[in-house]
Chains A and B, each alone.
Chain A
């Protein structure tokens, strides 16, 4: 397994456009998280899945953000009608739900979004 993969690594878009990020977690991990990180800040929780179920979504997440994990494997994060304030690094992480690996997050390298 090559770890958590995210695509694209960098996306530049114009305000008002839609963007989609993809995350491929470690195959045996049933939990998948999305975080957002802005410059000089720590990761901020957006949402998480256990298998295909989205179990929690941050109140900070506007209706323009939607995430899916249709088959409990890869996940997508879509941002509609992007705004300049959406510019950030979007991080995906995965973990096991039980056992010694539970609550140990493995992060991808992130997808950097720049909204012009």
Chain B
């Protein structure tokens, strides 16, 4: 069945460090891929998305590229800030299906 696998956390970085959070997926067909972020005490928020192979989603300095050949959608940011501390979830939905599959989340801690 469909599934998403994320790297385990927590990930602890210093401010201005480079961030990568790995995400790989298993799905039939051509899913759309998403990154959601959950700040402490808040609901999940869409960070970025990509709907087809080789698409790059970007928002707030974060980027992820839909790689069909490696079934991956890794999240990157060139210079993290303390305010980026949150839990990041990778997710997919298959075309014409209505159920999202989420990874288990990766907690990011950014120290000043």
Name A's B-contacting residues (CB within 8 A).
4, 31, 33, 40-45, 48, 50, 55-56, 91, 93, 103-110
Asked whether, in the complex, the Cβ of B100 is within 8 Å of the Cβ of A105, the reply is yes
B98 within 8 A of A: yes
Q: Can you list the 8 inter-chain pairs with the closest CB atoms, starting with the nearest? A: A42-B102, A107-B43, A107-B44, A109-B43, A43-B102, A42-B104, A45-B99, A42-B103
Asked whether, in the complex, the Cβ of A110 is within 8 Å of the Cβ of B105, the reply is no
Chain B binding site: helix, strand, loop or mixed by DSSP?
A: strand
**Interface pairs (8), CB distance under 8 Å:** A40-B104, A50-B98, A55-B98, A56-B99, A105-B36, A105-B44, A107-B44, A110-B43
- Measured CB to CB, the nearest residue on chain A to B89 is A42
Asked whether, in the complex, the Cβ of A42 is within 8 Å of the Cβ of B43, the reply is no
B 71-112 to A, binary, CB cutoff 8 A, 1 in contact else 0 = 000000000000000000101010000111111110000000
Contacts of B89 in A (CB 8 A): 42-43
Asked whether, in the complex, the Cβ of B98 is within 8 Å of the Cβ of A109, the reply is no
Contacts of B59 in A (CB 8 A): none
* Known interface pairs A48-B99, A56-B98, A105-B100; A41-B45 also in contact (CB < 8 Å): no
